[in-house]
């Protein structure tokens, strides 16, 4: 069948397009291959320079190399003279090699500055202290440029200045992260003239913020104490604003003092009502607060006792089947249990809540010596603790445990290492006292262990919580195990 003119034209056009695409692809492949060949040495030199952080440590040579490289790329894109492209790339390779060598020298000469810079980056100084960071960067760049130019003394001088600037930016960033919210709230209180109505509360907030700032100045890497102080400062500033909002209308004649006092008493009385205290209207707030504290303490104790009783019940139920098959031992077993309960009740009666809390932990007996305190930073047992430790000695004699573990604990203020050492020394002091004053106590069965801040029982964000965390626990291993009956 003869081919029409239209069909013949279509075939020709398709063949032409195919040929054109093939030529373009071949040209592109050739261009890419040519680029890879021409730029290979320069790319390798740049990678070697990057490995030594040359852009940072040798900025002049690195920038010069980048300019030659970019010019070579532009000439290749414009299909320029190959010899000129090669010449630009040769200069780029030489400059990057020089940058690499200079960077190696700078890494040694400016090592302290590099460490300061790394610490500033870790504290996010570019984000939280941008002005200080930019100044430090400027000084560092100047030091690196002087070193490239052979001015070693000038480079060292600028490096010291840069280190100082980086450290300042680092500290500024840390302060911003931990103190800024409190600062802003205190500034808001000042702007709203809160000092007219709540001067002492606002002054306390300002003092706490100053103390937090000083703590960071002393040790910027131990942030537990300044963070807690900043939180307290923020809370006090918020408290001052709240007080001013209530006191202001009274002072300015817009409200009555009686209304303010009744409003302040209501939350306390609502809590008391929930605790079934049913206070009369003539009970003062301070008395009511003490009654609430005592009620909460009783509830906490009852909750602990309930848990212990439930554990005992579960243990007894598990043993009930065996006990029922051993009727001959039942009476003796019950007598032993009753004697153990008597000892436990006797122990609980020995200690008022301000001296110690008595807990059952499975077969162990825990004495939490909340009344045993030490002077700040010291581990010596004071004479004021002798009475309390004398009662501990009596409990040891009463139960004759298989092993005694004395645990020292601290709050989170201070470094981890210092807290661990201090807690261990305090536990050791209590051990030595008990061994010296408890006849028959086997030293091999009494162990002192410091845990530092690793096992808190309360929040470290409040003074009360930190006070509970600073403690000595005495654990009597196996004290609540019934003796094995013999037949």
399, pLDDT greater than 50: yes
262 has pLDDT over 80: no
Could you tell me the two tokens for 67? 């300019």
pLDDT at 48: 94
296 Cβ contact partners less than 8 Å away, ≥ 6 residues apart: 275
Least confident of 106-110, 186-190, 305-309, 449-453: 305-309
Mean pLDDT of all residues in 169-196? 93
Percent of the chain at pLDDT > 70 equals 79
What is the DSSP code string of 58-114? -HHHHHHHHHHHHHHHHHHHTT--HHHHHHHHHHHHHHHHHHHHHHHHHHHHTHHHH
Which residues, other chains included, contact 195 with Cβ-Cβ below 8 Å and sequence gap of 6+?
A: 189, 202, 203
Taking the C-alpha atoms of residue 20 and residue 26, their distance in angstroms, rounded to an integer, is 10
C-alpha 166/C-alpha 426 separation (Å) is 40
Q: What is the dihedral of CA 215, 219, 225, 227, to 10 degrees?
A: 90
Among residues 153, 157, 122, the alpha carbon closest in space to that of 140 is found at 157
pTM over 0.85: no
Nearby residues of 103 by Cβ (< 8 Å), 6 or more positions away: 49, 52, 53, 54, 56, 57, 58
Mode of pairing for the β-strands spanning 403-409 and 446-450: parallel
The larger pLDDT score, comparing residue 254 to residue 25, is at 254
Q: Which helix (H) or strand (E) holds 367?
A: strand 364-368
Instruction: Please report the pLDDT score of residue 315 as a whole number.
Output: 67
Reported as a single tens digit per residue, the pLDDT across 56-94 is: 999 999 999 999 999 998 988 888 888 898 899 999 999
Cα distance between residue 456 and residue 470, in whole Å: 9
């Amino acid at each position: 069948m003869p081919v029409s003119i239209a069909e013949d034209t279509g075939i020709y056009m398709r063949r032409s397009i195919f040929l054109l695409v093939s030529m373009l692809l071949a040209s592109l492949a050739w261009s890419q291959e040519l680029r890879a060949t021409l730029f290979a040495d320069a790319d390798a030199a740049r990678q070697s320079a990057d490995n030594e952080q040359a852009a940072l440590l040798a900025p002049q040579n690195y920038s010069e190399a980048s300019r030659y490289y970019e010019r070579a790329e532009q000439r290749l894109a414009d299909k320029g003279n190959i010899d000129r492209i090669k010449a630009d790339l040769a200069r780029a390779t030489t400059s990057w090699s020089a940058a690499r060598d200079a960077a190696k020298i700078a890494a040694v000469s400016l090592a302290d500055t590099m460490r300061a810079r790394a610490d500033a980056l870790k504290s996010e100084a570019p984000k939280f202290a941008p002005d200080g960071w930019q100044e430090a960067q400027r000084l560092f760049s100047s030091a690196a440029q002087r070193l490239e130019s052979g001015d070693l003394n000038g480079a060292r001088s600028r490096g010291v200045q840069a280190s100082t600037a980086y450290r300042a930016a680092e500290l500024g960033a840390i302060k911003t992260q931990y103190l800024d919210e409190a600062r802003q709230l205190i500034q808001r209180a000042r702007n709203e003239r809160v000092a007219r109505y709540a001067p002492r509360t606002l002054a306390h907030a300002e003092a706490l913020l100053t103390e937090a700032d000083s703590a960071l100045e002393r040790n910027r890497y131990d942030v537990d104490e300044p963070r807690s102080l900043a939180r307290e400062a923020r809370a006090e500033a918020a408290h001052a604003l709240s007080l001013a909002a209530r006191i202001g209308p009274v002072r300015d004649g817009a409200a009555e003092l009686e209304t303010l006092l009744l409003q302040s008493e209501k939350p306390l009385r609502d809590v008391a009502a929930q605790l079934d205290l049913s206070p009369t209207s003539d009970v003062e707030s301070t008395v009511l607060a003490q009654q609430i504290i005592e009620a909460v303490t009783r509830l906490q104790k009852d909750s602990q006792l309930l848990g212990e009783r439930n554990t005992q019940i579960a243990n007894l139920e598990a043993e009930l089947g065996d006990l029922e098959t051993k009727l001959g031992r039942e009476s003796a077993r019950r007598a032993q249990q009753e004697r153990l309960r008597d000892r436990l009740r006797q122990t609980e009666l020995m200690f008022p809540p301000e001296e110690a809390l008595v807990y059952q932990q499975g077969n162990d007996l825990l004495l939490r010596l909340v009344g045993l305190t030490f002077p700040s930073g010291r581990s010596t047992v004071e004479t004021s603790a002798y009475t309390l430790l004398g009662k501990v000695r009596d409990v040891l004699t009463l139960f004759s445990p298989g092993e005694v573990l004395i645990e020292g604990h601290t709050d989170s203020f201070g470094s981890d290492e210092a807290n661990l050492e201090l807690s261990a020394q305090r536990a050791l002091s209590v051990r030595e006292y008990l061994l010296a004053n408890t006849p028959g106590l086997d030293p091999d069965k009494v162990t002192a262990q410091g845990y530092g801040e690793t096992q808190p029982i309360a929040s470290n964000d409040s003074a009360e919580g930190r006070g509970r965390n600073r403690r000595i626990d005495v654990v009597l291993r196996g004290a609540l195990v019934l003796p094995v009956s013999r037949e």
